[in-house]
Structure 1
Amino acid sequence: MAKRTKYPKLPNGFGTIRYLGKNRRNPYAVHPPTTEFTKNGAPLRPPSLCYVDAWIKGFTVLVALKSGTYYPGFEKNIEIEDTNDLKGLSQKILADYNRFRNPDKEDKEKTFKDIYNDWYAYKFERDQSRTYSPHTLNATRGAFKRCKTLHDKTFRSLRYDDLQKLIDDCPLSYASLEQVINLLHQMYAYAKIYHLVDEDCSLYLKINKPDNEKHGEPFTDDDLKILWNNQDDEDVEFLLIMCYSGFRIAAYKTMEVNIEEKYFRGGIKNKYSKNRVVPIHTAILPLVKRRMERDGCILTSDQTFRKHLDERNLLSQLGIAHHTPHDCRHTFSKLCEDYKVNENDRKRMLGHSFGNDITNKTYGHRTLDTLRKQIHKIKVPKH
């Protein structure tokens, strides 16, 4: 059995070429450099640029990407006479590439603010095929503002101690500091792609304070009994709808409400959340009908609802501890768990990713009736 060819190692921040297996017309997937990372700093593989029939063609695509001459369909015009001399070919192409590799004097003198602006345009403005929520954009800008002490410093001059001091001196919440570190990870990834820095100084940053924040507190069964006993109140009405459907509050402003077929369709944030279908639980159907007949929609403004809820001090008056609207989503998740709703259907209705579960991610298809049977496992407390 013939051994697979051993290909030259690509430079750091150059991109990747993946072999997908034999019996494919174009078995090599060409990916641009990684620009996004998880909160723990693990790289997220970007979508492929193209698929080619020879490794050296993929390499040529990445060189063109680096030099700024790549365009969609570029690979179709590549002509390689001899694909056997991979080492010679790659060295020749790299020799041409080196003129793009070294940052010029102007790049070396760029400040933290300059790199942020370049990265922001690279991530949010260059690719018009992808849109980001206002929440994501505002969180990113907020994280940048928290780095004010670094704004005018030369980016290449920053060291780990400078970044760690920023994190240690910041009095904000654990979650806010996580956003700052995530921003730094992405900025350094961008800077390495364009060889603006030699090392990632953000790699080992840590938050030296306990994470004492609550990540959601579901309503208890007693709380739900109280809410059901006060369902005629318009604010309680909406809280109950959220508790038994599980969407994020902002999703209710634009979702489709199909009274005849008894389902919601909508969602925000990511591809798993958007445009998902959740059956309307029989218990809240009268509340949904009443709200649609009265207001013409489920929700007009999430900010107005939050403000009104706080101003009325409603939950306190009902004898219920403080809760945020997002706690309704946690309540729905807990109800699904308590009443043994199928775990995969629970994820579908909450709009959660299936992670590495390829079977459910790719082949998991559930009808509305199937989901309806699952959601109706949830019982309403006697009131």
Structure 2
Amino acid sequence: MKLPNGFGSIYKLKGNRRNPYMVVLTKRYVRVMFKIKREKIILGYYPTKKEALAALTNYHENPYDVKAYSITFAELYERWSEDHFKTLNNKSSMRSYTAAFKHSEPLHNMRFKDIKTNHLEGAIEDADVGSSTKSRMKSMFNLMYRYAIKYDIVEKNYAELCNSVKVKKKREKIPFTTEEIKKIWEIVEDVPFADMILIEIYTGFRPIEMAEIKNKNVHLDENYIIGGTKTQAGTDRIVPIHPEIKPLITKRYNSENEFLFNDYNKLAHNVTPLTYDKYRNRFKKVMTYLDMSHTPHETRHTFITCAKNCKINDYILKRVVGHEITDVTEKIYTHRNIEALIKEVNKIIFI
């Protein structure tokens, strides 16, 4: 059966193929030298001529963006991440999605429209990573499918049916005890980065936020630091310097360095920024030295727990740690000055 002019073409490819029938559309005609050349777009590959004809007919009845229709997982990731990363406030989240994409390699060259739940589950199950990265993979799949549905690339979110990820139950956060904080103070002059743990306990900064504190944002004379990331409420917030840790911060402060906390490169004989991974390793070494089993995030939990035990103002606590304030009056109309924040935080007793 001869197809109408401009309708498209169906070709049977040579060899033993699962989908031997290729459907081709004409994108446009261009002049090359003295000849007219046809630019083609491949609509898809099909197991039978009947299915190929049906796909071609369906395209003309309901035209769609062929490029979007044939986009691969990797190509969609590039489009999605370009938009999504603009909404993120810290590099740690970006790195986690980049790692999730890297471990989804079996999907990279697949046409996104062809990916089903079994493909997603297979990629997660075969990834040689921990449960947190597997969870991030599933989260990324969900976000990519929502993006694809938004732009009419697919109609169904197969990631919602992906139930192969077994997420370990998060361990309950345990604050440092008074005795443990005292032990850290006892070795602060002798064990590298013990001071950093104390500063984190006394400020409530998140681990990643600690690594990104810049010296220009440390106001020693005024007793506060500007820092923080992750959320709108947490970004560039004012965090008072508790009197007990001011000597530690003063010792660390060096206006010639960009960041308050640094790593020393022995080969280059200079300081380099402290990444979260490096911070975590230093934290682990201190915990091993002291025979403790805390996680980096439990320093922040300790600050919040001690603040609540000392009954400091709840709204001030939220401002200091970067939690969202839902009370409209407090959020919009009340302007807490720096002196009020410092006065309230100075009430906290840690040891």
Answer with 101-110 or 175-184: which moved more.
101-110
Which consecutive residues of structure 2, in runs of 5 or more, have no partner in the other structure?
1-59, 263-272
Q: 2 CA distance for matches of 1:372 and 1:299?
A: 23
Question: Corresponding residue for 1:258?
Answer: 219
Q: 2 CA distance for matches of 1:149 and 1:215?
A: 35
Counterpart amino acid of residue 158 in structure 1:
I
Q: 2 CA distance for matches of 1:167 and 1:148?
A: 10
- TM-aligned CA distance change 1:294 to 1:119, over 3 Å: closer
Question: Corresponding residue for 2:230?
Answer: 269
Question: Corresponding residue for 2:45?
Answer: none
Question: Corresponding residue for 1:368?
Answer: 338
Question: Corresponding residue for 1:316?
Answer: 288
In the TM superposition, what are the counterparts of 1:75-94 in structure 2 within 5 Å? Answer: none
Q: 2 CA distance for matches of 1:196 and 1:294?
A: 51
Counterpart amino acid of residue 239 in structure 1:
I
What is the CA distance between 1:247 and its match in structure 2? 1.5
Question: Corresponding residue for 1:178?
Answer: 135
TM norm structure 2: 0.68
Structure 2 SS opposite 1:244: helix
Answer with 202-211 or 145-154: which moved more.
202-211
1:163 aligns with 2:120: yes
- 1:256–1:264 contact (8 Å) kept in structure 2: yes
Q: 2 CA distance for matches of 1:222 and 1:181?
A: 41
Q: 1 CA distance for matches of 2:314 and 2:164?
A: 33
What is the CA distance between 1:243 and its match in structure 2? 0.9
Q: 1 CA distance for matches of 2:148 and 2:226?
A: 40
Q: 2 CA distance for matches of 1:140 and 1:343?
A: 34
1:152 aligns with 2:71: no
- TM-aligned CA distance change 1:189 to 1:314, over 3 Å: closer
Q: 2 CA distance for matches of 1:364 and 1:160?
A: 50
- 2:74–2:108 contact (8 Å) kept in structure 1: yes
What is the CA distance between 1:306 and its match in structure 2? 4.6
Question: Corresponding residue for 2:30?
Answer: none
Question: Corresponding residue for 1:244?
Answer: 202
Question: Corresponding residue for 1:111?
Answer: 72
What is the CA distance between 1:349 and its match in structure 2? 0.9
- TM-aligned CA distance change 1:250 to 1:202, over 3 Å: same
What is the CA distance between 1:207 and its match in structure 2? 5.0
Q: 2 CA distance for matches of 1:147 and 1:137?
A: 15
- 2:132–2:167 contact (8 Å) kept in structure 1: no
- 1:103–1:196 contact (8 Å) kept in structure 2: no
- TM-aligned CA distance change 1:358 to 1:159, over 3 Å: farther
Q: 2 CA distance for matches of 1:285 and 1:330?
A: 21
- TM-aligned CA distance change 1:139 to 1:274, over 3 Å: same
RMSD value over aligned CA atoms? Answer: 3.0
Structure 1 SS opposite 2:239: strand
Which of 305, 308, 327 does residue 337 from structure 1 map onto?
308
Q: 1 CA distance for matches of 2:121 and 2:247?
A: 54
Q: 2 CA distance for matches of 1:235 and 1:197?
A: 50
TM norm structure 1: 0.63
What is the CA distance between 1:202 and its match in structure 2? 1.8
Encode CA deviations 1:165-192: one digit per residue, 9 max, x unaligned: 4334445333222211221122112211
- 2:220–2:250 contact (8 Å) kept in structure 1: yes
Q: 2 CA distance for matches of 1:314 and 1:258?
A: 28
Whose Rg is larger? 2
Between the two proteins, what is the percent identity of the paired residues? Answer: 28
1:193 aligns with 2:127: no
- 1:283–1:380 contact (8 Å) kept in structure 2: no
